[in-house]
Amino acid sequence: MRTSRSTVGTMTELNDHLKLLYARAADLFCRGCGREVHRDDPQQVYDDLIEAVAGSEPRIVVTFAIDVPHNFTATEIKQVLEQQGYTRLQSESETRLEVVQDRIRPPMRSESESLRAIEIALERGHGKMAVYPLDENREAGEPWRFSSDLHCPDCDIHYRDPQPNLFSFNSALGACENCKGFGRTIGIDWNLVIPDENSRYVKGR
């Protein structure tokens, strides 16, 4: 049945196949930085670290971040962390603490121990963690960030799981917010309403 939303894709039912293709086989890239977004698991993080440090033996610092609740101070949270065995911080502020989970050398440390450190960091960081490479002077470089959710750790943007309806202009989930999927909007063109702004009728308002 033809409607005002009909297109070549809907009439040939090609859209149904494309929606499934995008939802099942497409790769997600962050709209902020262009980085591919996927769920990181401990094994994937470990493999990425091994690849990143290939040919060298740097120390790396595995960390997770904790936001300080409004009804607590950073000092109080640090005391709780110390009771749990966490005595080292990578960075701190009044609202956020970056806690050191472990310092490891991926090629030399056993894989099981490294995976355990990564797993705990992801768990403690609610699915987010950062790894800092250390130079010869043990100064931290730019962190490598990971997330176990559909979340860009660099831009801190969360994404929902892809569904076929997200790629359909006939669905409220996928339709354009401006045109609602119809491809056109209703508005006022002030250039047509007032074609001559220098008119004496306009100036005399």
What integer pLDDT is reported at residue 41 of this predicted model?
92
Under the banding of pLDDT at 50, 70 and 90, the label for residue 110 is confident
pLDDT score for 148:
92
Report whether pLDDT(197) > 80: no
Confidence of residue 160 (pLDDT cuts 50, 70, 90): confident
Based on DSSP, count helices (H) and strands (E) in the chain, helices before strands.
Answer: 7, 9
Contact (Cβ atoms closer than 8 angstroms) between residue 138 and residue 59: yes
Question: Which H or E run contains 61?
Answer: strand 60-67
CA distance 186 to 133: 54
On average, the pLDDT of the chain sits at 84
Tens digits of per-residue pLDDT, 3-41? 666 676 666 777 787 888 888 888 899 999 998 898 999
- pTM value? 0.68
How many CB atoms sit inside 10 A of residue 157's CB? 14
pLDDT at 171: 79
Quick: pLDDT tens for 45-92: 999 888 887 767 678 899 999 999 988 999 999 999 999 999 999 998
| DSSP string across 116-161 | HHHHHHHHHTTTEEEEEEB-TT--B-SPEEEESSSEETTTTEE-PP
d(CA 53, CA 107): 8
- Model confidence at 1, pLDDT cuts 50, 70, 90, reads low
